[in-house]
Structure 1
């Protein structure tokens, strides 16, 4: 993969200080690579540092040691080659959906016409072309999250980062958003890294799953979960490979060892 690496995480450790002044080791020597155009999930039990790791890749936090590179360039802070979608869209209530999507483009200094054109493309991509003039309180939870995805995509990042983007949605909306994410990936070819607590979601959507274990957060295994070319969720879920990979991922999440024959690397 070395010639086609989009994200290279090397020996990343993160140490915090708690309220009593004690050191908390959130991450320890985390290393993995993400190929260009790949979907990779970060999963594991609570407290294993998934969100902290995602924020380090975004440049919102700095590692205590180790490095992150995106397309060969070291990450020293936020940049336009990365876009992030949070668990809750956190939209500006006084702006329309289209206005919220334009927000990130304003920070880049784009002119009004160019901003509007890019925002409209992103809104169309997530299927909200008819809702661009609505304000957040007029949108459903799923629609607000689509606006958040459109806002991240509008800057045309090389890497899309997502922190449990569908966890706050009801089951039906969540499944619809999962299907739409696969459609967006098929149409754009973006590199996507997402955090999820959901085993089924991780196997259904990701090409590979990086499993972290806590105390401190570290990589326990990387499982190849590719389910073929179909993006139909029912077909994916009904395959024998899905059932096997789901079982293997559960074992990894609970700290059990798998062999290379299981498609696991460490």
Structure 2
């Protein structure tokens, strides 16, 4: 089911073995969107903790807006985001990481910024301030973002922030590859749409450690970067398509 048959906003949470963090995060999302027509899709990327049982308990207890999308094996964060996007019923999809470091209070801010923008804007991307990651992660992200901006010139200083709002129809049209979720502003620009940004404040992880490593974001990201550069080079003109009435 796609937009037009469900809620206005779909929240997509890619996660792997984040049960302890999810339990708190879902309560925070409910509070942040208490007055909004929305659904929450937790995309469980092959977790082997008690994520399935925790989500089933919530749904059985009456959380009908909550949906559990499960991968039978871990396929990575990009695949989890994509599964959530294609399962979403809302006209707007807002993504948020499952580790609790993204603050849900920004979810309505991102959604409203996109909904109030004109149709030429395709994405509102969060930009993290006061990063709480380890020094190694912060330096690797800084290097990756500087290199990406130098090559792609997408005007986004922090493309790795999990908080992003996109129009669902556009989201499904973007070319997919492993690592895709880190290049969404550049891919949206490739389709001829604009990018807006919202500053957000990162938080400390409450429980556990990251399930998606630095190697996954670093060395593989270099190859992805040049792949996105090639994709953008191969689409120089994006026409506006209309069907004039007689």
Fold shared per TM-score above 0.5? no
TM-score range (shorter-chain normalised) is under 0.3
Greater Rg, structure 1 or structure 2? Answer: 1
- Report the TM-score when normalising by structure 1: 0.26
Normalized per residue, which structure has more strand? Answer: 1
